[in-house]
């Protein structure tokens, strides 16, 4: 950890407010989701991030806690048609999602087709914002070159998204400080940057924040704020 860390060693609660406490396993049960919500409330995390089927459950469990409910759209491949992503996003906000993390069409980024990316993202952004929710755009950095990452971030900014996010955690690789710094440089101070995938320790979380992350997506949130080492794959 560098000496100019934004948090002293004892300020775990401040660090917790950066964390989206995440459970996206396909076999997660209602009991698992309720446990996640209880932990998020106990540790004062910023949000829980769960699959769409659990949005209503999480929203009710988190009522009055100040913890936000986040879900995913077009997850984890990003290959859904735009109208399907829009349908998912609308349903999520109607169920109570405060934030929606959508996956871009990665092939469009690889083809440097910015117009296609803007069209896809802006359609989802419109319905998410109609529901007074925020949109995070997952660009899947491990699958893109630096030029493609920059293009995807520019498209998200142009399309009116609120955040760019590194990774799903399901398609190889995860967040790196280099990618977070590149994303922050590209979007400036206008957007949030969420580092997700492989952030399992306090030191790594602080490195991501120092690189420019304004949110951390992880299932190792408790380990991060208590100084342990997370064992989760996400």
Q: Say if residues 21 and 219 touch (Cβ distance below 8 Å).
A: yes
d(CA 78, CA 54): 20
**How many CB atoms are located within 10 Å of the residue 62 CB?**
21
101, 120, 162, 179: the active-site residue:
101
Query: Is 165 an annotated catalytic residue?
Result: yes
- List, in sequence order, the alpha helices (H) in 21-111: 30-43, 55-61, 82-95, 106-110
85, 165, 179, 204: the active-site residue:
165
d(CA 4, CA 210): 9
Q: For residue 153, which of 167, 164, 166, 169 has the smallest C-alpha distance?
A: 164
d(CA 218, CA 87): 26
d(CA 229, CA 212): 22
d(CA 119, CA 168): 21
59, 85, 149, 194: the active-site residue:
194
Residues marked active site are found at: 101, 165, 194
């Amino acid at each position: 950890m560098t000496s100019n860390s934004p948090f002293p060693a004892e300020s775990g609660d401040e660090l917790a407010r950066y964390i989206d406490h995440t459970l996206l396993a396909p076999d997660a049960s209602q009991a698992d989701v309720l446990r996640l919500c209880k932990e998020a409330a106990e540790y004062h995390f910023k949000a829980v991030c769960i699959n769409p089927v659990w949005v209503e459950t999480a929203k009710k469990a988190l009522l009055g806690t100040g913890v936000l409910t986040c879900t995913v759209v077009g997850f984890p491949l990003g290959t859904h048609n735009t109208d399907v992503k829009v349908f998912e996003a609308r349903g999520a906000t109607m169920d109570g999602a405060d934030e929606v993390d959508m996956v871009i069409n990665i092939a469009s980024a690889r083809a440097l087709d910015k117009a296609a990316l803007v069209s896809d993202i802006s359609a989802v952004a419109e319905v998410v914002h109609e529901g007074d929710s925020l949109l995070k755009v997952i660009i899947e950095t491990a699958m893109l070159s630096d030029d493609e990452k920059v293009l995807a971030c520019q498209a998200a900014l142009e399309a009116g998204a609120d955040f760019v996010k590194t990774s799903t955690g399901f398609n190889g690789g995860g967040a790196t400080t280099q990618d977070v710094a590149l994303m922050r440089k590209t979007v400036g101070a206008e957007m949030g940057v969420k580092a997700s995938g492989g952030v399992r320790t306090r030191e790594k979380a602080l490195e991501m924040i120092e690189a420019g992350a304004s949110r951390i997506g992880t299932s190792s949130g408790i380990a991060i704020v208590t100084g342990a080492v997370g064992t989760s794959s996400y």
